[in-house]
Structure 1
């Protein structure tokens, strides 16, 4: 990309080595702001599949330096994300922000976080743990627990599969609920598999259970009841929350109610303003039907909000 200084970088969070990509506008002047992009669930790399490249390009065109990185155990990064907690992942994001702020031409005072999906929970936790965060952006991040979000996504998948009967869908959701309860009892993977086998692996379960092994089961049960409300109430900076109106994975209406309740909580600092943007018809990555990337109005809403906070 012309006018951009882009390179591979490495930084550390204690024993964990994190590999990523740093891109800084090469305009002869300092960048207007800086942002750390934090990807979603699973083995996400610095590009978050295909979502981050167009986002990175647009931010750079708006004069914003961008750092994204491979999650623990992915790409060039050491460690194992499945052995981590959300707090561990938040400290990785915090180390990324410190590294970004140390780069020449990146203004520390206007460098913040952007977290997509699960990455939103991560950056909310990272931002709440610090006093020097100027702003935070969450993208398609549920204001519910992971257990509630996953059930919503599974129910949507079952509704959208014509071959599924109502009885089959009910059986699958009942098994999901029993797996969540097993996770709360800290049941081992063998116990969870017994529940799945005894239920006859009902149709549609593979959407949730298809890639679950022992290590992923341990991660899921550790994460499932994480409640972002505490971090939302503890924010001490402006927050922009972006959603697609037709996101099949996120309970958007429930999330809006949760965001509003946290923003109105008496303990939340007054400088922690909340701005919500919902793009009608857009999916989990804010794409409209048949589009490969988000539309111009999505990028305009994001960079317009950032520019108002990074004069």
Structure 2
């Protein structure tokens, strides 16, 4: 199916959000829609090279697609570092409202698709809502940001070839000290001192970017966010996509936690769980150094979305 792309602008929690809207050329009727939510850091509407390919594949499949610059990135106003994950979820909801109001889009069939940190925002935005028909995440941990970061660092330490036992790894000791500092509200001056005393290892910037007071405050605010209450409160089908070779996310533990949460009694019967795991896929479910999608993805996501988009959403 052919489609066209255009600029989009709408009001978010911190002012103006800007992005790209892809609209399929309709033969008849209104089309379903997907809001793409980018990952951590200063992610823009393209989330590196990930979203353009995904946006095109979804639009070709007949979905209207809206992706946007995170607040304070690209053409969006504000500062993501001054906010919280809840603020990012509110921006995702604002993007959904904009897509729902777009002529030619069926407002009853517009859901979220969040990548990595954007998955946490998607789950928060969908929590407890009857008007969200589905939620999709890719590379989104079911553990806290603190646990995810430690897992990622453990892999970096191991892959460096110079790692000692985890209990005596200087990198992990420093990481644990920084997490503890965040929990007791330490200021950025103490953080700089801890990093300097450890020899200012390059992994700090590699893991979090060049830290400053604003970034530190954001990381400390989000580090113990637990995504599982949001998962338990979903009232819609949920697709969780992972690359099996993702070095950033504890995939096996995330799948275990999601399955346990979805197996709990009293959950909304609409809140089904589908897990798609792609061998050799990295954090963006890509292979060959990120040059192409893992075989079968995103076709599996499109197929899943089409099945749900065929079911018009009712209330209750």
- Tell me whether the two structures share a fold, i.e. TM-score over 0.5: yes
Q: In the alignment, what sits opposite 1:236?
A: 235
Are the counterparts in 2 of residues 158 and 204 from structure 1 also a CA contact under 8 Å?
no
> Deviations along 1:10-36, whole A, 9 cap, x unmatched?
000245110011111013334541000
2: CA distance, partners of 1:144 / 1:231: 12
Alignment RMSD (CA, Å): 1.7
Q: In the alignment, what sits opposite 1:305?
A: 304
CA drift of 1:104 comes to 1.0
Are the counterparts in 2 of residues 244 and 286 from structure 1 also a CA contact under 8 Å?
yes
CA drift of 1:209 comes to 5.2
What secondary structure, in the 3-state scheme, does the structure 2 residue paired with 1:179 have? helix
Are the counterparts in 1 of residues 30 and 106 from structure 2 also a CA contact under 8 Å?
yes
Paired residues for 1:155-166 under 5 Å: 155-162=154-161, 164-166=162-164
Seen in structure 2, the aligned counterparts of structure 1 residues 160 and 84 have a Cα distance that, compared at 3 Å, is: same
> Deviations along 1:189-229, whole A, 9 cap, x unmatched?
01111112222335744433551111100000000000001
TM-score by length of 1: 0.95
Q: In the alignment, what sits opposite 2:225?
A: 226
1: CA distance, partners of 2:88 / 2:183: 21
Q: In the alignment, what sits opposite 2:119?
A: 120
Paired residues for 1:131-280 under 5 Å: 131-162=130-161, 164-166=162-164, 170-202=169-201, 204-208=203-207, 210-280=209-279
Are the counterparts in 1 of residues 14 and 71 from structure 2 also a CA contact under 8 Å?
no
Q: In the alignment, what sits opposite 2:8?
A: 9
2: CA distance, partners of 1:7 / 1:207: 34
Are the counterparts in 2 of residues 45 and 75 from structure 1 also a CA contact under 8 Å?
yes
Seen in structure 2, the aligned counterparts of structure 1 residues 167 and 259 have a Cα distance that, compared at 3 Å, is: closer
Count of residue pairs brought into register by the alignment: 309
CA drift of 1:167 comes to 6.2
Unaligned stretches of 5+ residues in structure 1:
none
1: CA distance, partners of 2:146 / 2:260: 20
Are the counterparts in 2 of residues 24 and 31 from structure 1 also a CA contact under 8 Å?
no
Are the counterparts in 2 of residues 54 and 293 from structure 1 also a CA contact under 8 Å?
no
Are the counterparts in 2 of residues 171 and 202 from structure 1 also a CA contact under 8 Å?
no
CA drift of 1:238 comes to 0.2
TM-score by length of 2: 0.94
1: CA distance, partners of 2:156 / 2:148: 12
> Deviations along 1:231-283, whole A, 9 cap, x unmatched?
01111100000000000100001101110111012232111000000001110
1: CA distance, partners of 2:117 / 2:13: 22
Seen in structure 2, the aligned counterparts of structure 1 residues 133 and 82 have a Cα distance that, compared at 3 Å, is: same
CA drift of 1:171 comes to 0.9
